[in-house]
A = this chain, B = another copy of it.
Amino acid sequence: MQLKEECGIFGVYNKAGIKQLGNLVYFGLFALQHRGQEAAGIAINKDGEVELQKNLGLLSDVFKDSPMISKDGDIAVGHVRYSTTGSNTVENAQPLCARYYKGSLTIAHNGNICNAPQLRKELSEQGAIFHSTNDSEIIAYLIASARIHTGSIEEAVKAIIPKLQGSFSLLVMSPRKLIAVRDPHGIRPLCMGKIDDTVIFASESCALDTVGAQFVRDIKPGEICVVTKDDMFSIEDYCGKESALCIFEHIYFARPDSIIDGQSVNSARVQAGKMLAKQHPVPADVVIGVPDSGLSSAIGYSIESGIPYGVGLIKNRYIGRTFIQPSQAMRERSVALKLNVLKANVEGKRVVMIDDSIVRGTTIANIVKMLKRAGATEVHVRISSPEFLFPCFFGTDIPDQDQLACIKYTHDELVRKIGADSLGFLDKDTVDQIAPDSRLHFCKACFTGQYPCPVPKRVNKLEFE
């Protein structure tokens, strides 16, 4: 599956005085690398002075031999980023670090502001200039403007929330404060942990585990959580709306070892597999998953169906780095550059193959072809999510509707196109049931078209009047 999440964020108020704070932030982001592989940055605040390093590339490339990794600090914010082609420039890397009326202002953002074009236009009409095309700069301007008329940074943050439509899990660092904000629907995850007195915010709980922090709680939808040297308090004026956590965090984006708003991501995937087995049973000899995200659902399908689980596809562990393009000669053979079939496990067998979604359908068609070539007698594709039918405006890179396989083709056409013997999706009316432990409701707009907040007719990130 090739959808891409927009970002991962990580912030620390180092009250316990942990040495080499940069190292802690690095490893926190390292656990969130799956949320963004195109740019990375860390800003460290020491005695009110902020030092920033950010660049395009994976964390390990950006911070190789960097002195940032061993720097001490009082507060720090980090970011990993995915971006669509064209705006993947260093200017768009985060955190954004600026100076304003009251000194330094650092922002790290995960999500997508739907009304960014209007906001950018309004700010421009007041004389604003923009160095980047990302939402963080808009947010920084709004805060800077609001700060003039308010008594504190947190009041400025509070004042601008109503202006922002869309999804945002946000970290705001001022010279002496760290503020975590989650949009009123809680579309993107954000949680809090601690190491002794040191307070940590992270997109996912796996980052807390990675740095040895204790999980405290999730940030509530609409919550503005303010950490100062001596205090921590929340502004909850925007809490209480209908929650709408992106269900794709459970299906694909998040790491399986994360727990989001009470729900284990891995358990949700196993449960999706079990439900698929009930909704789309089929006689078969082995259940396999497309690595990595399909593996847990395949185990679930196996448990529910009684069909043995097996490893059917091996993924090259070194994928994910700079990927050199295959030549025409290689592409024509549609060869197994990223995935290879484990022939011994599928030859002469009826195979149930679980993947997390179908976007354009081309990848899955290649995999089915590989399995058949390796001797699978039947390939039954099961998808651990419903059909993709609608665009996402909240930070998921779903292509235009006219490229979505489930829109372009009827079910039967799609089965033929991917070369499967049968195809079953998770029922969209039951998709909530994959996450029974979740304290939040879900945004399922990509399946249903029902968005939790107003969305633009058409969003063009680079558009500027």
Contacts of A308 in B (CB 8 A): 303
- Does chain B have a CB within 8 A of A9? no
Contacts of A317 in B (CB 8 A): 33-34, 292, 317, 320
- Does chain B have a CB within 8 A of A410? no
**Please, how many angstroms separate the alpha-carbon atoms of A255 and B339 in the complex?**
12
Tell me if B23 and A336 are in contact (CB < 8 A): no
- Does chain B have a CB within 8 A of A131? yes
Contacts of A343 in B (CB 8 A): 257, 259, 264
Tell me if B330 and A27 are in contact (CB < 8 A): yes
Tell me if A318 and B127 are in contact (CB < 8 A): no
**Please, how many angstroms separate the alpha-carbon atoms of A31 and B124 in the complex?**
37
* Stretch from A97-105, A178-186, A357-365 that touches the partner: A97-105
**Please, how many angstroms separate the alpha-carbon atoms of A318 and B320 in the complex?**
8
**Please, how many angstroms separate the alpha-carbon atoms of A333 and B334 in the complex?**
46
Name the interface residues of A325-371: CB closer than 8 Å to any CB of B: 326-330, 333-337, 340-345
Question: How far in angstroms is the closest Cβ of chain B from A22?
Answer: 8
- Does chain B have a CB within 8 A of A438? no
Given contacts A255-B314, A296-B311, contact A127 B141 (CB under 8 A): yes
Count of chain A residues with a beta carbon within 8 Å of a chain B beta carbon: 91
Tell me if B31 and A316 are in contact (CB < 8 A): yes
Interface of A toward B, CB cutoff 8 Å: 18-20, 23-24, 26-27, 30-31, 33-34, 58-61, 63-64, 69-70, 90, 97-101, 103, 105, 124-131, 133, 137, 140-141, 144-145, 147-148, 195, 206, 209-212, 255-257, 259, 264, 266-267, 292, 295-296, 299, 303, 308-311, 314, 316-318, 320-324, 326-330, 333-337, 340-345, 464
17 A-B pairs in the complex with CB atoms less than 8 angstroms apart: A19-B328, A24-B330, A27-B335, A60-B318, A60-B324, A63-B324, A98-B130, A101-B125, A124-B144, A125-B148, A206-B314, A209-B341, A210-B335, A211-B330, A212-B335, A264-B343, A266-B342
